[in-house]
């Protein structure tokens, strides 16, 4: 707090300039230090602005990015800046909720397919990391003599998990024990928790990765498209319609083009296949072997690159159409009857970077990009049904965002009873909204809910939320941070936090790439999600190609966060 006074009244010249100076200083003093709604907004905004500006600085090619907002908040708190406690709690909570919900909404469309393929193994690896760190914390508590409340706070800071800290503090208060020590331990260990994971990622990349680990994994979505060309040599299907051949086969495929002698045909379901026909088929890679048995011979060359289709028939074109009409959202592709009514073929669908096979039972979502083949006039007619208005998608659907956040908070507040304990646990502010985001992003269109947002809009929501959260967290911890930091206890907590952060993460990073065979980007997301570290995720997203870190982060984060909340409470209950 700034105090203005007059040390020598006899020498004070009460001139207009002096009065103006005093008034201006009083105004600045009240503007920055007197608690009000405006003061809270200004302080948080200044912390975020300075932190983001510093985050652009690079040392040896490394930038901590948004993490600097947290450190700037700590310095501001140490210098005496503060805001109303209720406003601080609101801004911090709302920022965290906004960040995790937007993250879940972004990765929701690809989350469940990822879980079917690699998610079980990835969550097992994450749980091993979490349990190893928790057991290490319990062992350190017994060896060093520090109370489990202190070490639990340090563990929450080392894993940058404030929901777990809140659960631990609630448990301590319910047991009639002070909770300030746990909060201070979290604040002291938090910076090393942020930087430690980033440092381990750098070490893993420099010393433990192979060239193949840095290559993004090819999409393994169950409906990922695969384009192949076949020559029909199976006499059993000669003379039968495409519809009959599809009905007789378990494989999923779409015949987008047919070459019969010198004649090009864009086939429909009633077109008869003849021996010697060459066909271009859109299918899934796992069905290719079945199609070889069905059609006869698979050709090695890609006709898309060897044949000028437009020269053969200039009326036939291939275009991309974006689903933008709300009335189409949630409908099955087959229900639109695009082939029978308009004569066009939908060969594939691109959704959130994932290529999907355009089967009749595929449920369309706003923002889907359809690849269609037909005449120009036919495609224009289809555009009237689908929309194809990219401009209408630029405006975010804010109503759905806030409805989803509300549902997430409701989910996060549901008490979950543990056997043998009278203290319930909850998913909290982080777990509930991210699960709601995942569910809304994946299943919202089934209920005709438009959940689509542009990537830039999603990044804006995530950036605002994370910046608010970190600024408030640092501001609250800053007032006692340096006093504890330079003391023997603070230095010990820093060392313990470094061990709890880096040792389990380094070991599991190596194990995940060598034993579990995860790519480097997937490993980064696994480590960041298991450690509940969005700042390290931000660093990984900036340095790793593709969306693998974000997808794997969202894959392990919900379960990992829930388990950490449980463990934080169990450590208190079992060791006190």
Is residue 370 classed as helix, strand or coil in its secondary structure?
strand
Compute φ and ψ for 476, nearest 5 degrees: -70, -35
CA atoms within 13 A on the CB side of 135: 7
- 129-161: buried (b, 16+ CB within 10 Å) or exposed (e) per residue? bbebbbebbbebbeeeebbbbbbbbbbbbbbbb
pLDDT of residue 314: 46
Q: For residue 554, what are the CA distances in angstroms to 36, 212, 351, 425, 529? A: 37, 24, 18, 21, 7
DSSP conformation class of 257 = E
Q: Whole-angstrom Cα distance, residue 62 to residue 71?
A: 16
Give the tokens for residue 519. Answer: 């790519």
Distance CA 317, CA 340 (A): 18
User: How many helices, marked H, and strands, marked E, lie in the chain?
Assistant: 21, 9
Q: Is residue 26 part of a domain?
A: no
Nearest to 69 by CA among 91, 52, 82: 52
**Measured between alpha carbons, how far is 102 from 453 in angstroms, rounded to an integer?**
10
**Considering its fold, how many domains does the chain have in total?**
1
- Percent helix, strand and coil across the chain, each rounded to 5? 65, 10, 25
Half-sphere CA count of 436, side-chain side, radius 13 A: 27
Q: How far apart are CA 479 and CA 476, in angstroms?
A: 7
Q: What pLDDT does residue 312 have?
A: 46
Q: Other C-beta atoms within 10 Å of 95: how many? A: 23
Residue 232 belongs to a domain: no
75 located within any domain: no
Distance CA 68, CA 76 (A): 12
Give the integer Cα–Cα distance in Å for 543 and 13: 60
The DSSP result for 372-410, as a single string, is: EEEEHHHHHHHHHHHB--GGGGSS--HHHHHHHHHHHHH
Please give the chain's pLDDT, 576 residues, in tens. 444 444 444 444 545 555 555 556 666 766 677 788 888 898 999 999 999 888 887 665 555 677 788 788 888 988 888 899 899 888 988 888 888 788 777 766 656 655 565 678 888 999 999 999 999 999 998 888 888 888 988 998 899 877 677 677 767 776 777 766 777 788 788 878 888 998 999 999 888 887 776 776 654 444 455 778 888 888 888 888 887 888 788 777 778 778 787 777 777 777 888 888 888 887 777 778 888 888 888 877 655 455 554 444 445 566 778 887 777 777 788 787 777 676 677 767 877 656 676 777 777 877 778 888 776 777 777 777 887 776 666 677 788 889 989 999 898 888 877 676 666 767 777 678 878 887 887 777 777 777 777 777 778 888 898 889 888 878 887 777 777 777 788 889 889 999 999 999 999 999 999 888 888 888 999 999 899 887 788 788 877 877 778 878 878 887 787 788 778 878 887 766
3-state secondary structure 154-207: HHHHHCCCHHHHHHHHHHHHHCCCCCHHHHHHHHHHHHHHHHHHHHHHHHHHHH
- Measured between alpha carbons, how far is 278 from 231 in angstroms, rounded to an integer? 4
Give backbone dihedrals phi and psi of 372, rounded to 5 degrees, phi first.
-120, 150
Residue 499 vs residues 140, 143, 185, 507: alpha-carbon distances, Å: 10, 14, 14, 12
Residue at 213 is within a domain: yes
In a domain, 358, yes or no: no
What per-residue confidence (pLDDT) applies to 222? Answer: 45
User: Taking a C-beta distance cutoff of 8 angstroms, is the pair 370, 323 a contact?
Assistant: yes
Could you tell me if residue 390 is inside a domain?
A: no
Nearest to 65 by CA among 489, 563, 538: 538
Predicted pLDDT of residue 444 = 76
Residue 7 lies in a domain: no
Contact 73, 475 (CB under 8 A): yes
Residue 510: Cβ-neighbour burial (10 angstroms; 0-12, 13-18, 19+): middle
Q: How far apart are CA 568 and CA 188, in angstroms?
A: 17
Hey, what are 492's tokens? 């010990």
CATH number at residue 529: 1.20.1530
Q: How far is CA 104 from CA 271, 411, 440, 462, in A?
A: 44, 14, 8, 10
CA dist., res. 243 & res. 490, Å (int): 73
Instruction: Say if 20 falls within a structural domain.
Output: no
CB distance 571 to 142 below 8 Å: no
Residue 502, SS3 per DSSP: helix
Q: What is the pTM of this model?
A: 0.65
For 562, the token pair is 């829930």
Expressed as residue numbers, the domain containing 187 is: 85-218+399-575
């Amino acid at each position: 707090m700034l105090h203005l006074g007059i040390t020598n009244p006899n020498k004070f010249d009460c001139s207009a300039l002096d009065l103006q100076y005093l008034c201006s200083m009083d105004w600045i003093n009240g503007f920055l230090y007197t608690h009000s709604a405006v003061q809270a907004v200004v302080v948080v905004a200044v912390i975020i602005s300075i932190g983001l500006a510093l985050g652009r600085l690079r040392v040896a090619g490394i930038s901590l990015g948004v993490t600097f907002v947290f450190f700037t908040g700590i310095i501001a708190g140490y210098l005496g800046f503060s805001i109303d406690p209720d406003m601080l709690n609101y801004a911090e909570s709302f920022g965290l909720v906004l960040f995790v919900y937007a993250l879940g909404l972004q990765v929701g469309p690809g989350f469940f397919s990822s879980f079917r393929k690699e998610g079980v193994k990835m969550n097992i690896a994450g749980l091993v990391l979490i349990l190893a760190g928790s057991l290490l914390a319990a062992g350190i508590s017994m060896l060093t003599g520090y109370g489990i409340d202190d070490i639990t706070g340090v563990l929450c800071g080392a894993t940058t998990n404030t929901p777990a800290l809140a659960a631990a503090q609630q448990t301590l208060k319910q047991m009639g024990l002070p909770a300030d020590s746990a909060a201070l331990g979290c604040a002291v260990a938090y910076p090393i928790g942020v930087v430690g994971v980033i440092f381990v990622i750098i070490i893993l990349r420099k010393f433990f990765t192979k060239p193949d680990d840095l290559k993004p994994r090819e999409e393994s979505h169950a409906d990922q498209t695969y384009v192949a060309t076949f020559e029909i040599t199976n006499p059993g299907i000669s003379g039968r319609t495409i519809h009959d051949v599809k009905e007789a086969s378990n494989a999923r495929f779409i015949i987008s083009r047919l070459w019969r002698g010198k004649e090009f045909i864009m086939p429909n379901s009633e077109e008869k296949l003849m021996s010697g026909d060459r066909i271009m088929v859109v299918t899934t890679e796992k069905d290719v072997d079945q199609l070889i048995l069905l059609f006869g011979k698979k050709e090695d060359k890609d006709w898309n690159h060897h044949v000028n289709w437009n020269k053969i028939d200039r009326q036939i074109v291939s275009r991309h159409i974006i689903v933008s009409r709300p009335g189409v959202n949630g409908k099955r592709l087959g229900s639109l009857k695009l082939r029978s009514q308009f004569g066009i073929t939908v060969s594939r669908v691109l959704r959130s970077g994932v290529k999907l096979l355009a089967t009749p039972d595929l449920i369309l979502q706003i923002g889907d990009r359809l690849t269609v083949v037909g005449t120009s006039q036919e495609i224009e007619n289809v555009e009237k049904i689908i929309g194809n208005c990219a401009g209408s998608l630029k405006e975010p659907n804010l109503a759905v965002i806030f409805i989803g956040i509300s549902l997430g908070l409701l989910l996060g507040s549901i008490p979950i009873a543990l056997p043998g304990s009278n203290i319930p646990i909850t998913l909290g502010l982080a777990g509930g909204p991210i699960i709601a985001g995942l569910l809304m992003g994946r299943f919202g269109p089934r209920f005709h809910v438009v959940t689509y947002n542009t990537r830039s809009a999603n990044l804006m929501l995530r950036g605002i939320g994370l910046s608010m959260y970190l600024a408030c967290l640092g501001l609250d911890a800053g007032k006692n941070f340096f006093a504890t930091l330079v003391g023997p206890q603070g230095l010990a907590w820093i060392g313990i936090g470094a061990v709890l952060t880096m040792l389990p993460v380094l070991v599991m990073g190596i194990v995940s790439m060598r034993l579990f065979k995860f790519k480097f980007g997937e490993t980064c997301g696994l480590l960041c999600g298991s450690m509940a570290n969005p700042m390290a995720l931000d660093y990984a997203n900036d340095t790793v190609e593709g969306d693998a870190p974000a997808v794997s982060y969202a894959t392990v984060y919900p379960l990992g966060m829930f388990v950490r909340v449980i463990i934080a409470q169990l450590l208190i209950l079992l060791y006190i």
